Amino acid sequence: MELLSDQGLRVDGRRAHELRNVECRLGVFGRADGSAYLEQGNTRVLATVYGPHEARAAQRRHDVASINCQYRQAVFSGWERGRRAGGGGDRRAQELGALLQNTLESVVLVELYPRSQIDVYVQVLQADGGTYATCVNAATLALIDAGVALRDYVCACSASVLRDQPLVDLNSLETSGAPELTAALLPRSGRLPLLEMSQRFHVDKLGELLDVAETACRDVHTILNRAVRRHVSARSSEK
Amino acid sequence: MLQNPSWEDHRTDGRRRRDYRPMELETGLVTHAAGSARLRLATTDVLVGVKAEVGEPLPERPRAGRLQFSVDCSANASPEFEGRGGEALAGSIASCLTRAYASPSALDLRPLSIVPARQCWILYVDILILECGGNLYDAVSCAVKAALFNARVPELDVSSADSGRVDVELSDDPFKLLRLDVENAPCLVTLLLVDSECIVDPTQEEEACSKASLVTAVTAGGLVTAVTKAGRGSFHPTTVASALEMAAELGAVLNRTLTEQLQVEEQIEDRQIRGFLG
């Protein structure tokens, strides 16, 4: 099966620079302070935010808020059933939780909430590639829904190179065995709070790939921004 | 109001003792799973996925498949469930469901057998609790029943070769699927004890006001397959008897209504799955 046909079409009919279909909804759960559901193609993620609230003693910092993140994948989220339901989570989940914390710390105005804690929980319901990027985007939406002060949106996307052609927003078929880059962008400043790469890339290709990923992240930003504005105007016209 | 003896069958949200809150149900949301269902009971939100894998049957039941429950209390529902915080609750819900389905009259697992004593389908029922608004047991059991109703398992062609070897082949037809008969699958009915009266479908606030509850697994025919007492308080024996009667009645109605709605949902042509997008 060809991942990229001679006409430049991918397995799901997209072109190399096209994102998958993005659908999202803010305020999914009433009990959490902020929540969001995001779908990028068949990857589906739920993010909830609790806080800012009083920090646990171990996490309390006198001058800034501490951000606590947890990344979990549902047992039925992958093609094959995952091994453990909940519990401690595996090492990759812990690593992604810590990575999410670092990414969000660059954008949340933590100086405004000293001695408090902001919990961000991300649950992957269905994983079909680009999972971590979708989680970052969902977490941003949930933070906006919770009313936490942010410096900027964090928009993430995955990218790769196939036969010298850069691809963006990979699905699970394109991810298996191929080199994968996940990058997040702060659209207003153009800075990258997150960059993760796996497998082998030729260093000459890296510049081009980062440019392509940056454009894709800006496309994601357009979609998320539109969704947030729609949500806010719907809420304000209700009351 | 809850602790006032003259409250006359009115609860804080206007319901009577025997009234359930409105439920929203949708099946087939998780495309990677053999079956799935999402149930919203006011502010309680549960997502169940059923995956089928081939494995070995239990030695004491060689001609039947297996059913395995696991519950994950997501941190989305409450910060208390972060890390391993939700394990105790998850464990008790899973074991309650295991006992409810242990009875042979609950769910016939014989159609899931592939090669007796050697291979069978194992259905992994994975429950994800996304929001806790009270009455978790009932919501989870209804979602499980809906997911099992929705589940489709590939049919296998089993043929025995002359040498005694058995060949198992997956049919080429992707629509040749096995469905489970969930007619007798039980639903859990939680009855909360408040001042020697029992109320059904408690909210989280009502649960905080009471010390004991009775969780009963009831089939559509009104048969009770499992009973558990939860909480720190105690029941008087006469209260238990009347509670079981009430649970059996309510359970039969709950099962019937659930099955009717699942059948109505199945009849909808070109159903658009809305999922969390609302």
pLDDT in tens, A123-134: 999 999 999 999
At A23, is the pLDDT very low, low, confident or very high (cuts 50, 70, 90)?
A: very high
Q: Residues 6 or more apart from B59 whose CB is under 8 A from it? A: none
Q: Residue B137 pLDDT more than 90?
A: yes
Rounded CA-CA distance A167/A157 in Å is: 11
- B57 preceded by a cis bond (ω within 30 of 0): no
B70 in contact with chain A, both atoms CB, cutoff 8 A: yes
Q: Please compute the mean of the pLDDT values over residues B61-81 and round it to a whole number.
A: 91
In chain A, the largest separation of any two C-alpha atoms, in whole Å, equals 59
Residues composing chain B: 278
Q: Quick one: pLDDT at residue A89? A: 60
Q: Quick one: pLDDT at residue B162? A: 66
At A88, is the pLDDT very low, low, confident or very high (cuts 50, 70, 90)?
A: very low
Interface size, chain A vs chain B, as Cβ–Cβ contacts under 8 Å: 109
Q: Quick one: pLDDT at residue A8? A: 83
Q: Which chain A residues have a beta carbon less than 8 Å from that of B32?
A: 76-79, 126
CA dist list (Å): B71 to A93, B114, B204: 18, 27, 19
pTM surpassing 0.95? no
Q: Please compute the mean of the pLDDT values over residues A105-128 and round it to a whole number.
A: 94
Q: Which chain B residues have a beta carbon less than 8 Å from that of A35?
A: 76
At A105, is the pLDDT very low, low, confident or very high (cuts 50, 70, 90)?
A: very high
Minimum distance, in Å, between the CA of residue A87 and any CA atom of chain B: 5
Of B47, B87, B131, the CB nearest to A86: B87
Q: Quick one: pLDDT at residue B6? A: 47
The residue type at A131: T
B51 in contact with chain A, both atoms CB, cutoff 8 A: yes
Rounded CA-CA distance B244/B189 in Å is: 10
ipTM for the whole predicted complex goes beyond 0.90: no
Interface test with chain B among A31, A46, A49, A76, by most B beta carbons within 10 Å: A76
Q: What is the mean pLDDT of chain A?
A: 90
B43 in contact with chain A, both atoms CB, cutoff 8 A: yes
Of B31, B73, B79, the CB nearest to A42: B31
Q: Quick one: pLDDT at residue B4? A: 53
Strands A66-73 and A180-186: unpaired
At A214, is the pLDDT very low, low, confident or very high (cuts 50, 70, 90)?
A: very high
Rounded CA-CA distance A91/A193 in Å is: 22
The model's pLDDT over A31-86, given as tens digits with 9 standing for 90+, comes to 899 999 999 999 999 999 998 999 988 888 889 999 999 999 998 888 777 765 44
Of A25, A46, A68, the CB nearest to B76: A46
> B105: helix, coil or strand?
coil
User: Any idea which of A52-56, A150-154, A197-201, B129-133 has the lowest mean pLDDT?
Assistant: A197-201
Q: Residue B2 pLDDT more than 90?
A: no
At B159, is the pLDDT very low, low, confident or very high (cuts 50, 70, 90)?
A: confident
B13 in contact with chain A, both atoms CB, cutoff 8 A: no
**Could you identify the residue written with the tokens 């039969």?**
B252
DSSP E strand boundaries for B185-240: 187-194, 197-200, 212-218, 224-231
Q: Is A192 exposed, middle or buried (0-12, 13-18, 19+ CB in 10 A)?
A: middle
The model's pLDDT over B93-129, given as tens digits with 9 standing for 90+, comes to 999 999 999 988 888 899 898 888 888 999 999 999 9
Window 75-104 of B, Cβ < 8 Å to A:
75-79, 82-84, 86-87, 90
Q: Residue B163 pLDDT more than 80?
A: no
Contact (CB, 8 A) for B137 and B201: no
Q: Quick one: pLDDT at residue A50? A: 95
The model's pLDDT over A182-193, given as tens digits with 9 standing for 90+, comes to 999 999 999 999
CA dist list (Å): B217 to B64, B191, B198, B249: 22, 11, 16, 12
A74: enclosing H helix or E strand: none
DSSP B234: -
At B5, is the pLDDT very low, low, confident or very high (cuts 50, 70, 90)?
A: very low
Rounded CA-CA distance A108/A101 in Å is: 10
Interface test with chain B among A72, A125, A172, A235, by most B beta carbons within 10 Å: A125
Minimum distance, in Å, between the CA of residue A77 and any CA atom of chain B: 7
Of B32, B53, B278, the CB nearest to A126: B32
Asked if B128 lies within 8 A of A74 by C-beta distance, the reply is yes
Q: Which of B146, B183, B126 is nearest to B41 (CA)?
A: B146
Rounded CA-CA distance B167/B156 in Å is: 10
Interface test with chain B among A75, A83, A131, A135, by most B beta carbons within 10 Å: A75
Rounded CA-CA distance B211/B228 in Å is: 14
Determine what percent of chain A is predicted with pLDDT higher than 70. 96
Rounded CA-CA distance A126/B47 in Å is: 12
User: Any idea which of A158-167, B6-15, B21-30, B188-197 has the lowest mean pLDDT?
Assistant: B6-15
Up-side HSE of residue B149: CA atoms within 13 Å toward CB? 26
Q: Residue B224 forms beta bridges with which residues?
A: B218
Of A47, A85, A121, the CB nearest to B70: A85
B134: enclosing H helix or E strand: none
Of B50, B71, B77, the CB nearest to A85: B71
Q: Quick one: pLDDT at residue B1? A: 43
Q: Residue A122 pLDDT more than 70?
A: yes
CA dist list (Å): A8 to A3, A117, A165, A167, A168: 10, 47, 9, 10, 13
DSSP string, A16-72: TTPPPPEEEEE---SSSSEEEEEEETTEEEEEEEEEEEEPPTTT--SSS-EEEEEEE
Give the distance from CA B115 to its chain's centroid.
28
Between B210 and A230, the more confident residue is: A230
Q: Which residue of B has its CA nearest to A26?
A: B277
Q: Quick one: pLDDT at residue B128? A: 95
Asked if B124 lies within 8 A of A75 by C-beta distance, the reply is yes
Asked if A70 lies within 8 A of B43 by C-beta distance, the reply is no
For residue A186, give both structure tokens.
Answer: 């702060």
